Amino acid sequence: MIQNYKSPFPWRLAAPSCVWPETALVNCRRLARTVPEVGLYLLELDSCLAYGPDDLPQKTYGLAYHLHLPFDLPWERGGTGAFTAMEGLLTKTAHLSPWAMVLHPPGSLTELEDFLAALAVTGRDPASLLLENTEQSSPEEVLDMAEAAGCGVCLDLGHMLALGQTLPTAREELVARTRMLHVYSPFGAEGPPPGRSHAHRTLTCLSPEGRDVLVWMLANLRPRTVVLEVFAPFHLVESMAVLEALADGKTPDPACGDKA
């Protein structure tokens, strides 16, 4: 944790490595003034494998780290092939000792189990892999896969609200396996867009219903890290203020001026 950082939360606050339109290295250096953890967003396989020393941080800056693995892993090669294709990203970031890896789950449990088996061969703990709920995988489906494969869960609030997903709150495994939250509003002041598309808005844009879901998650789950998944500096500051208000038991200002 960064020196002199005083957290009002029982979990660690994190930001993505793309808050500014700069390299991850620049983002991490700047974010070290504000949060104790950064998620390295390695979302495109080939471009991230091409990163050089000026793209990724070469020292921790006092930060903890986790990884968000690429969206475009070649699952058609199977779980082992998908892992082999991205293993270079683990090598590039090993000096930062990331504690977790977030993955959009594959289409089958067999692919996931093969991916985790290949991960274990490298000496890494399969439990450090966190499956995120997506359009293809609801929170309950992700929890089923995580329980079967022995890994963890990252719950994405924005995906839940945009897709009408619900939490399997009656299952004890939800608390046991949820180690990370991604929090943001999926809609701006203009409300839901046509179809299922959504964006990453500041938490001041949350509807009352969305705020209630976030309050439940923060009160009933025990994540190690909560990621403010917003991609602009002012939105990060606004969203931090919302979390601090909620931590104090207050209802934050719902005003949403975000039209982006």
For residue 73, what is the domain's CATH number? 3.20.20.150
Residue 134, pLDDT score: 96
- 213 within a domain of the structure (yes/no): yes
Cα gap 8→67, rounded to integer Å: 24
Residue 249, pLDDT score: 81
pLDDT per residue, tens digit, the chain (260 aa), is 333 445 668 899 999 999 999 999 999 999 999 999 999 999 999 999 999 999 999 999 999 999 999 999 999 999 999 999 999 999 999 999 999 999 999 999 999 999 999 999 999 999 999 999 999 999 999 999 999 999 999 999 999 999 999 999 999 999 999 999 999 999 876 666 655 567 899 999 999 999 999 999 999 999 999 999 999 999 999 999 999 998 888 877 666 765 44
Residue 1, pLDDT score: 33
- 254 within a domain of the structure (yes/no): no
Angle between helices 109-121 and 139-149 (to 10 degrees): 50
For tokens 């274990």, what's the residue?
120
Contacts of 91 (CB under 8 A, 6+ apart): none
Residue 250, pLDDT score: 81
Cα gap 224→248, rounded to integer Å: 19
Domains held by the chain: number: 1
Kindly report the pTM of this predicted structure.
0.93
Domain coverage including residue 141: 18-247
- 225 within a domain of the structure (yes/no): yes
Contacts of 107 (CB under 8 A, 6+ apart): 75, 136
Q: Is 148 exposed, middle or buried (0-12, 13-18, 19+ CB in 10 A)?
A: exposed
- 58 within a domain of the structure (yes/no): yes
Q: Dig out the tokens for 200 from the structure.
A: 């990453």
Residue 199, pLDDT score: 87
Beta strand 178-183 with 37-41 is: unpaired
Residue 193, pLDDT score: 62
Residue 2, pLDDT score: 35
- 95 within a domain of the structure (yes/no): yes
- 233 within a domain of the structure (yes/no): yes
- 257 within a domain of the structure (yes/no): no
- 256 within a domain of the structure (yes/no): no
